[in-house]
Amino acid sequence: MTDSVKDSGSRVHRGSLEAILGVSVKPEILDLALTHRSYAYEHGGAPHNERLEFLGDSVLGLSMTAELYREYPDHSEGELAKMRSAVVSEVALSKVARELGLGRFIKLGRGEERTGGRDKSSILADTMEAIFGAVYLDQGIEVAEALVLRLIRPLLADPERMSAAHDPKTALQEIAAARQQEPPRYEMTSTGPDHNRVFTATVIVGTLVSATGSGTSKKQAEMAAALEAWTNLNKA
């Protein structure tokens, strides 16, 4: 196996992804973590990353549950559950993945490539979980947990951002009201066949900001757009 991963239309280097992650993973395991089912189906039913995603979801959940339990001894079970839900959500994971530039490393089928799969929140979040699973398989729970905490824990240091990740539409509505703007207005478009439709939402907040987000449902697209708009407003 070569040092690079050939995806649909581009060649990327494993070493650069490992440098970004700060973790080394066996080439065949990392390759599997980056292989979306659309690519696998177009290549004779090759293995894809959904089993690793299933594993990584548990690694992520356990790591963050333990961290919240240790760091917030005075919080109730309900408060801890709400915090965990925010930091392991698709919105939060896809945001982390975008900050890493993960999309360019994913192996996609031609259909997903054409419909913007490299920036689709669901694919980015699922691949992030698959990488956590891959690191666990190759390096064990301590290294996997350290990676999870390094990438996800920063959300805990920003309670407002964490709350926004949990419910970005409400958070955006609140900041719009605080700045005396009209409620956020959403516009929706979609592409692709009915069984594989991608929705793109554009949210407009008065004269302050507009932002877009995509997802496999209208709700996901609106949430992604709302979080992007909220983030941009808080940078202003």
Q: Give catalytic residues, as residue numbers.
A: 57, 129
The answer to whether the annotation marks 222 as part of a ligand binding site is no
**How, if at all, do strands 198-205 and 209-215 pair?**
antiparallel
3-state secondary structure of 182: coil
> Which of these, 68, 51, 91, 67, lies nearest to 145 by C-alpha position?
67
The answer to whether the annotation marks 18 as part of a ligand binding site is no
**228 burial type by CB count under 10 A (0-12 exposed, 13-18 middle, 19+ buried):** buried
Q: Which tokens go with 37?
A: 């089912």
Q: What are the φ and ψ backbone dihedral angles of 110, each rounded to 5 degrees?
A: -60, -40
- Distance, CA of 15 to CA of 7 (rounded, Å): 15
The answer to whether the annotation marks 74 as part of a ligand binding site is no
- Binding site membership for Mg(2+): which residues? 53, 126, 129
- Binding site membership: which residues? 53, 126, 129
